[in-house]
Structure 1
Amino acid sequence: MGTLRYPAPESYRTAHGLSVHTWAHAEPEAEPILLIHGFASNTLFNWVKTGWLDPLAGTGRTVIAVDLPGHGASEDVDPAGLRNADLVDDLAQVVDQAGGAAAVHGYSLGSRIAWEFSHQHPERVVSLVMGGAPAGGDVDQIDAQQARAWAAGGAEPQDETTRQLVTVAAALPGQNLPHVVELRLSLAAEAYDPATGVPAVPTLVVAGTRDEIAADSAELANLVEAAGQPARFVQLTGRNHVNALTARDYKSAVLEFLGG
């Protein structure tokens, strides 16, 4: 296919504000792969600049990446009141438009959404990759008032977990900070317990050995195995939550998992 460029040749917006970017493979040999980025990131920084597009296209797949509401090409979308169910519904329509089934790869917050989507729609998911994924909702224990006040130009939060959240939110240049923070707060309104809805699909879980956010992510692979599906956990030596995405071992594990 050659080198894939950003912006994508095809893009559109879903009902709840996902911006969908598509690099269509001229002669696809397998189902497309759907990429869901992490909190305070976007398609460009999570997948393009880290070198994922060409290796994934090399597996004979169309590559589809979404920008979550309030992020990237969807920075104008106010996510207030959105729930996981809204994003899952839109992702189902994205996959249906792409042929009805896809491999799904989520990172960090995107992995949480990918887990829920794969649980609710296993018929649309041929395989699942969970990168940098927490196995619980501890990261959602944030002070919404302090976070919103900071995003609007106020003081830095006093609550330590909330302060860490806004530090991540401000890491990339040009963010719509109120919208970025609001998506996290909106999704945090619902408890996240992966054990209550385990995807019935083959799953690969990947995390860096220095990734404190995903320190318990091996449990996700255990849950899938206990539910009767093949699952594998891969650790990336010396990698943290940010630089795991550039690891060659990460890409190699995913390509092997996809059969590329």
Structure 2
Amino acid sequence: MSEVRKDYVEGFGGTHLAVHTMGQGRPVLLLHGLFSSAQVNWIKFGNAEILAEAGFEVIMPDLRAHGESEAPHDPPLYPEDVLVEDLRILVAELGLTDFDLGGFSLGARTAVRGVLSGLAPRKLILGGMGLSGLAGWARRSAHFVDAIDRFGSIERGDPAFVAQAFMKTMKVDRVAARLLLGSVDDTPPEALTEVTMPTLCVCGADDGDNGSAPDLAHALPDGRYEEVPGNHMSSVTFKEMGRAMAAFLKD
């Protein structure tokens, strides 16, 4: 396995963000999903290694309030679209001018909004994301806020049970996570006309958590859809995810 290098970058408000890097070559910046981390989404199951072996420098930050990044409890450190601001700071700090950008779930949402804010990656990858998911954050956010507020009392069979279990596994700072959930913005379908670079919508065959990925690919000016095994939780554990991403970026 390629060496994983770790550094820290100061994001918005001086929040320390852990940045994990593998491989050498063309930079591809990957953002993980909610309650997850670079380690779990990209490194643990070998998908970052696939990209590194394909000739990419894989740059994987832990989002604020996630992984090894800081999780401040100060509400002013969670303004509207703070994850996008962190992303823009990271791109500038690393001096990235010619790069690719990808994300899974919350990371995909952040990547789209990063493009809408002016970032211009050569290619874009949206994992675990559908058309309605980009515009339906209020419903998704309410589900996770409910899981935070009822944490420790949610029983198996409850729709929030999986979220509770994942938060326990990942040792999520629930105060910081709740603040972060309130900072995320919707992206209406009509805004997608501005996402003009080639975009891969890669999604598990059994993943409908964020709506239809084929519909998202169809709505993008240059979108394409790739199905991989798994559901929203498991698709990142299959190497087909990394292989689809590498093939798209090398095409």
One-letter amino acid of the structure 2 residue matched with residue 4 of structure 1: E
Does the alignment pair 1:172 with 2:172?
A: no
State the partner residue of 1:19: 17
Cα deviation, 1:16-61, whole Å, max 9, x if unaligned, reads 43614142655x2x2x111111011011111111212222222322
Counterpart code for 2:2: T
Distance 1:196 1:233, change over 3 A: same
5+ unaligned residues in a row in structure 1: which ranges? none
SS of structure 2 residue aligned to 1:204 = strand
Structure 2: runs of 5+ lacking an equivalent: none
TM-score by length of structure 1 reads 0.79
Q: 2:250 aligns with which of 249, 255, 259?
A: 259
Task: Please list the CA deviations of residues 193-227 of structure 1 after superposition, one character each: whole Å capped at 9, or x if unmatched.
Answer: 243244121100011121121441222211213xx
Please report the RMSD computed on the Cα atoms of aligned residues, expressed in angstroms.
2.9
Report the equivalent of 2:239.
Answer: 248
Q: Show the counterpart of 1:200.
A: 196
What is the Cα deviation at residue 68 of structure 1?
1.3
CA distance in 2, matches of 1:130, 1:79: 30
Scaled by the length of structure 2, what TM-score is found?
0.82
Displacement, 1:75?
Answer: 4.6
For 1:76, the equivalent position in structure 2 comes to 71
Equivalent residues in 2 for 1:111-260 (5 A)?
111-123=108-120, 125-136=121-132, 137-138=135-136, 140-141=138-139, 142=142, 146=146, 149-151=149-151, 155-156=153-154, 163=160, 166-167=163-164, 169-187=166-184, 190-198=185-193, 199-225=195-221, 230-237=222-229, 239-259=230-250
- Match for residue 45 of structure 1 among 40, 46, 62: 40
How many angstroms apart in 2 are the aligned matches of 1:144 and 1:49?
24
Whole-angstrom distance in 2 between the partners of 1:194 and 1:171: 34
Aligned residues: 241
Structure 2: distance between partners of 1:24 and 1:251: 14
Q: How far apart in 1 are the matches of 2:218 and 2:108?
A: 16
Amino acid at match of 1:140: A
SS at match of 1:100: coil
